Structure 1
Amino acid sequence: MSDDGLIVLRTVRQILAGNGPVFNIGERVEGNTSTLWTAVLVLVGWAPGVSLEWIAVIVGLLFSAAGLLLGLDGARRMAGPAASTFVFPAGALVVLALPPFRDFATSGLETGLISLWLGGTWWLLVRRGTEQQRGPLWSTAVVIGLGPFVRPDLALFTQAAMVGLLVLTWQGWRHTLIPVAAAAVLPVLYQVFRMGYYGLITPNTALAKEASEALWDSGWAYFGDFTDPYFLWIPVAACLLTGFALLWRKTVSRRVVVLVAVPVIAGVMLVAYVVRVGGDFMHGRMLLPATFCLLLPVMAIRVTKLTFVPVVVVAAWAVVAGGWLRTPYAGLEEPIDDQEVIADERAAYVAASGTEHPILARDFRLFKGMADDANQQLAAQLNPVILVYASSTGCVAYPSANGRDVLTYFNIGGPGMLLPLDVWVRDPIGLANPVAAHSTTCQGDASGTANSPVRTGRSPASARSRRGRGGARPVHAGRPRRDPHHAQLPAHQGNARLRPRAADLRAILGEPDPFRRPKPTALRPEPRERANLRLTLLAETPSGSIVDHQPSRAAVRLTSQGAAVSPRL
């Protein structure tokens, strides 16, 4: 289980409690990227006596297995009858041998749902293209149209699959209206709901992690971080040879060409998208859907004299990759590539939790200690407070004037699961924070906070790896920008560099020097504007000082409704 998976479960808890699809009560923010994954967990979350963490892990594992089975059966059907009756699961072995696939299948994220939808959609296309399909055409189109619900970037596969469906069932332009409308109706209806309920045209995570810049260098580094450790070119070359061997001196029908082209073209588009936006901070995660797509036509292959050698190569590689091949940083104390800032997510959370298989939120020592400290402070306070957490100080209370108890920290999934639902959990990056989501980084900020989050004692898959390079990254993904100044300075010197920006913020708020920590019990009423601004724009450094995460005084202004961010942010 990962912290990002726990973020999803916080929203599920709110829905099951009757508070609506929100992360914090009373604040309409769509903090989950996969709408369909959230809906699935809500439907199965009613099971009594089973924690949501275990439900997410089990459902993700079952969905991953189902997606592989559908992909295998689709490849078998596409191959058709042949002299050889022995079928070898070449593509399936490649997928299973990759550690990131196994890790994220049980991470609480939507990876299992992605596998199920990709395998199921292609299986439906194969049945449409190779036999008389029972049932209306629009039913297949509806499934194809679910791509943006699974993940917004899977709209690329939806487009390719829709074109393939129309080509396979072509009967003239007039007959395309019904399947196209069927594929579009659910996404359009939900988009209307999203704009009305959340006031955005994308999930809030897409806003916080905009992918408007082209970061090809970072993207290719991320691509190499996934392909190089596992020598992925070996099974890919073997699968290509197998495909050519099966088609050698044979007449290939138009339908087979379409069925092979749909996942291959979609996979190439997904790879290009991930590389363009600079990759991700989670090793391999964003390239798993593309890998699954590219391997769909060879998930299962007929074993003949021509395909025997490639089959043996794939089998041998799968044994070695599954058992021994890992990233160079997987065994480090902090399993992260400091140069490219890419983390082995599972190894990071295992190290942070001290448990080989962390599932429950309370299995993570950091989250449990933070929640226990926060609950003790909340019980001792008479008025609502904002709790700012740092590993060196624990939770420190500041006055809150919005009537809410708030905990602010970079990780919000674990605390969100362990704290009561009426306690707001806010992050300075913007995953579930609307003001921070509307901000962006600025080049050349002397404080160091504009280019990378402040280190606050997080786990190795930490704040360093949350914010994308230049602020650009794919939906629910991101690459961190390293801060050479802050990283090379001792804590007190780093804070000295941050003082000018904190001074700007103090001038706005009209408050005393926060480097002289006020007593947690010395609460005083403040205007709502100041509390809201502090809530969204403050975080704490390892030494306990307050840091302004915005680049300039001029970038922030106060209104009667609270903090407002200028258009340039």
Structure 2
Amino acid sequence: MLKHLRNWGLLPILGLFLLHAWLYADFFIDDAFISLRYVQQWLAGNGLVYNIGEYVEGYSNFLWVVLVALLGFFEVDLILATRIWGISLSILTMILVYIAVRGLPFPLFAPLLLALSPSFAMWAMGGLENPLFMLLLLVGSLLFYREETQKPGWSSSICWGLLALTRPDGLLFGAIAFCYRVGTLYRNGQWPQRHDYLRGLVLAGIVLPHLLWRFSYYGYWLPNTIYAKSMGLNLRTLLEGGLYLYTSSEILGGLFVIVLLLLLALTAKQRHGYTLYFTLNVGAYAAFIMLAGGDWMPAQRFLASILPLLAILLQLGAVELVTLLRTRLPQPIAWSPILLHLLYIAAMALTMRFIEPGIPINHRLSLPYAWVLYLEDAVEITDTIAVFDAGLVSYAMPLTVRIVDMVGLADGHIAHRPPQFPGGLWGRGDAWGRWDVDYVLAQNPRFIQTSLQGMDAQGMWRTGFTGTTQLVNDPRFQAHYTMTELNGLFERK
């Protein structure tokens, strides 16, 4: 692989990425701590559980959990373990993107786009599985393209299987490859060949054992997080998904720029072999995002999943745009739109740097860490704590402390409640529409953590989540709980 780096221009770009990632050193998303709680329990011999004795799959990134646990087994700090994997896999992704486009004019465009992208840099540091997902998707797509155009094979199915273990939506790309192959066979009037059957067997050999293990261990075919987040197919879901796609596109220049470059790549006189297949992947995943209702996390987590493929496609579109402009304009002017595009992405990165979403991992003064420091002194090892933010608090507590996730990601009861949206079509604060005040109070938690925002004009408490707003205004809660010295943290009287 290193022989392809003779153009040492890639090395400064890798350095730029490392600098960019370092700027987000304080970014670590709360949900990542949920996965780390599972790793803690596993390494302690309690199984892949959130609470001891409760078999609920409150994570959806099995392969990522395994990789982090691997480093944790050798006593590497778990937060550091996610950073080691995130940075390493992201660098490998950039190198492979460069190799994929090295035969094109200005082959540094695609890796430079990744290095400047705030989504790419932030999720290398954010603690979740995005870097692994991006790498497996890129490798699988490149292998499948080679199998279809050069040497028939089945190795791409290994990537599709591992991608499905990284996150369940990864199986979508195996389905896209299958449909693409069926279309190719139909156009050529051929029957499936030996390697086609091997592809299916390899994929099934990876996915089915894990699926059977999941059902035997947790009692469900899908992760609990999917049940918790599924809002059903309705107008609100589609509107939120469409809005998410539109706003996410801003970090790459906006929807118009992306669509323009994709159309140029697709309609080029000498269209590159990657173009159609990669566009199918990007388009299908965009449709999935819309049907799923988007995502709440910062830095366009879903869009980041397909960013390497999108970078290659934008590279192809940019080359075609420059080719067209050079027939009418001097070369420096012909390249100016592409340079402006990169400058725009850099400006977006600088803008997002100062937003600093997520939870800082250093001990600065912040409310989440104040909750943790308070609870570390006050909690007993047999206590129950109900939380709105199910990550950091659970990660910092003793493993014997029972955590009730009031949003339902790591709680089997709440995740399987029917969704409800009292806020209506555009209502805010309903999250995925699942909560149960009676259930939370029945757990008799000693502490309850909420995102308290104050009181309204009618004297009612407001929080950032409808479920906890109903909870803190419930007469039973007000009779038995009082707020501690910290805003939003309540203790049983």
Shorter chain as normaliser: what TM range?
0.7 to 0.9
Cα distance change on mapping 1:311 and 1:207 into 2, 3 Å = farther
Q: Does 1:319 align with 2:282?
A: no
Determine the structure 1 residue equivalent to 2:385: 407
Query: Structure 2: which amino acid aligns with 1:126?
Result: Y
Cα distance change on mapping 1:491 and 1:229 into 2, 3 Å = farther
Determine the structure 1 residue equivalent to 2:177: 161
Determine the structure 1 residue equivalent to 2:279: 264
Q: Does 1:212 align with 2:212?
A: no
Counterparts of residues 347-426 of structure 1 (less than 5 Å): 347-349=356-358, 358-359=360-361, 365-379=366-380, 404-426=382-404
- Tell me how far apart the structure 2 counterparts of residues 151 and 205 of structure 1 sit (CA, whole Å): 11
Q: Does 1:468 align with 2:432?
A: yes
Deviates more, 1:276-285 or 1:24-33: 276-285
- Tell me how far apart the structure 1 counterparts of residues 377 and 180 of structure 2 sit (CA, whole Å): 58
Deviation of the 1:143 alpha carbon: 2.0
Cα distance change on mapping 1:233 and 1:371 into 2, 3 Å = closer
Cα distance change on mapping 1:348 and 1:241 into 2, 3 Å = closer
Determine the structure 1 residue equivalent to 2:409: 431
Determine the structure 2 residue equivalent to 1:111: 130
Determine the structure 2 residue equivalent to 1:6: 33
Deviation of the 1:209 alpha carbon: 0.7
Counterparts of residues 84-103 of structure 1 (less than 5 Å): 86-103=105-122
Query: Structure 1: which amino acid aligns with 2:122?
Result: D
Length-normalised TM-score, structure 2: 0.74
Could you tell me whether the CA contact under 8 Å between 1:144 and 1:162 is conserved in 2?
Answer: no
Cα distance change on mapping 1:378 and 1:298 into 2, 3 Å = closer
Deviation of the 1:173 alpha carbon: 2.6
Q: 2:456 aligns with which of 476, 479, 489?
A: 489
Q: Does 1:29 align with 2:53?
A: no
Cα distance change on mapping 1:58 and 1:325 into 2, 3 Å = closer
Determine the structure 2 residue equivalent to 1:236: 258
Q: Does 1:151 align with 2:167?
A: yes
Q: Does 1:126 align with 2:148?
A: no
Cα distance change on mapping 1:415 and 1:444 into 2, 3 Å = closer
- Tell me how far apart the structure 1 counterparts of residues 173 and 311 of structure 2 sit (CA, whole Å): 14
Q: What secondary structure sits across from 2:232 in the alignment? A: coil
Q: What secondary structure sits across from 1:280 in the alignment? A: coil
- Tell me how far apart the structure 2 counterparts of residues 500 and 107 of structure 1 sit (CA, whole Å): 29
Deviation of the 1:101 alpha carbon: 2.3
Cα distance change on mapping 1:287 and 1:196 into 2, 3 Å = same
Deviates more, 1:86-95 or 1:304-313: 304-313
Deviation of the 1:330 alpha carbon: 8.1
Determine the structure 2 residue equivalent to 1:16: 43
Q: What secondary structure sits across from 1:173 in the alignment? A: coil
Could you tell me whether the CA contact under 8 Å between 2:120 and 2:307 is conserved in 1?
Answer: no
Deviation of the 1:202 alpha carbon: 0.7
Counterparts of residues 515-530 of structure 1 (less than 5 Å): 515-517=478-480
Could you tell me whether the CA contact under 8 Å between 2:415 and 2:434 is conserved in 1?
Answer: no
Determine the structure 1 residue equivalent to 2:67: 40
Determine the structure 1 residue equivalent to 2:292: 277
Could you tell me whether the CA contact under 8 Å between 1:238 and 1:311 is conserved in 2?
Answer: no
Length-normalised TM-score, structure 1: 0.65
- Tell me how far apart the structure 1 counterparts of residues 251 and 245 of structure 2 sit (CA, whole Å): 11
Cα distance change on mapping 1:487 and 1:98 into 2, 3 Å = farther
Deviation of the 1:425 alpha carbon: 2.0
Cα distance change on mapping 1:498 and 1:204 into 2, 3 Å = closer
Deviation of the 1:158 alpha carbon: 1.6
Cα distance change on mapping 1:179 and 1:228 into 2, 3 Å = closer
Structure 1, gaps ≥5 residues long: 80-84, 336-346, 385-403, 453-463, 472-485, 507-512, 521-539, 547-569
Could you tell me whether the CA contact under 8 Å between 2:240 and 2:290 is conserved in 1?
Answer: yes
Could you tell me whether the CA contact under 8 Å between 2:282 and 2:310 is conserved in 1?
Answer: yes
Could you tell me whether the CA contact under 8 Å between 2:49 and 2:57 is conserved in 1?
Answer: yes
Q: What secondary structure sits across from 1:407 in the alignment? A: strand
- Tell me how far apart the structure 1 counterparts of residues 478 and 254 of structure 2 sit (CA, whole Å): 51
Cα distance change on mapping 1:519 and 1:467 into 2, 3 Å = closer
Cα distance change on mapping 1:364 and 1:130 into 2, 3 Å = farther
Q: Does 1:66 align with 2:85?
A: no
Determine the structure 2 residue equivalent to 1:200: 220
Q: What secondary structure sits across from 1:26 in the alignment? A: coil
Deviations 1:478-505 (A, max 9, x none): xxxxxxxx9872483348x999977998
Could you tell me whether the CA contact under 8 Å between 1:2 and 1:108 is conserved in 2?
Answer: yes
- Tell me how far apart the structure 2 counterparts of residues 229 and 129 of structure 1 sit (CA, whole Å): 33
Could you tell me whether the CA contact under 8 Å between 1:218 and 1:279 is conserved in 2?
Answer: yes
Structure 2, gaps ≥5 residues long: 1-27, 436-452
- Tell me how far apart the structure 2 counterparts of residues 504 and 359 of structure 1 sit (CA, whole Å): 32
Query: Structure 2: which amino acid aligns with 1:320?
Result: Y
- Tell me how far apart the structure 1 counterparts of residues 472 and 130 of structure 2 sit (CA, whole Å): 44
Cα distance change on mapping 1:302 and 1:269 into 2, 3 Å = closer
Deviation of the 1:86 alpha carbon: 4.8
- Number of equivalent positions: 426
- Tell me how far apart the structure 2 counterparts of residues 431 and 69 of structure 1 sit (CA, whole Å): 35
Q: What secondary structure sits across from 2:127 in the alignment? A: coil
Deviates more, 1:222-231 or 1:290-299: 290-299
Deviation of the 1:28 alpha carbon: 0.7
- Tell me how far apart the structure 2 counterparts of residues 310 and 240 of structure 1 sit (CA, whole Å): 18
Determine the structure 1 residue equivalent to 2:199: 179
Q: What secondary structure sits across from 2:389 in the alignment? A: coil
Q: What secondary structure sits across from 1:408 in the alignment? A: strand
Deviations 1:109-132 (A, max 9, x none): 111011111111122123334544
Q: What secondary structure sits across from 1:145 in the alignment? A: helix
Deviations 1:316-336 (A, max 9, x none): 211232135677x986xxx6x
Q: What secondary structure sits across from 1:425 in the alignment? A: strand
Q: What secondary structure sits across from 2:385 in the alignment? A: strand
- Tell me how far apart the structure 2 counterparts of residues 240 and 493 of structure 1 sit (CA, whole Å): 50
Q: What secondary structure sits across from 1:426 in the alignment? A: strand
- Tell me how far apart the structure 1 counterparts of residues 87 and 419 of structure 2 sit (CA, whole Å): 37
Cα distance change on mapping 1:374 and 1:325 into 2, 3 Å = closer
Could you tell me whether the CA contact under 8 Å between 1:29 and 1:433 is conserved in 2?
Answer: yes
Deviation of the 1:93 alpha carbon: 3.2
Deviations 1:392-446 (A, max 9, x none): xxxxxxxxxxxx422221112111221111212221111111111122343549x
Query: Structure 2: which amino acid aligns with 1:348?
Result: P
- Tell me how far apart the structure 2 counterparts of residues 502 and 242 of structure 1 sit (CA, whole Å): 53
- Tell me how far apart the structure 2 counterparts of residues 302 and 499 of structure 1 sit (CA, whole Å): 52
- Tell me how far apart the structure 1 counterparts of residues 108 and 72 of structure 2 sit (CA, whole Å): 34
Cα distance change on mapping 1:69 and 1:424 into 2, 3 Å = same
Could you tell me whether the CA contact under 8 Å between 2:386 and 2:403 is conserved in 1?
Answer: yes
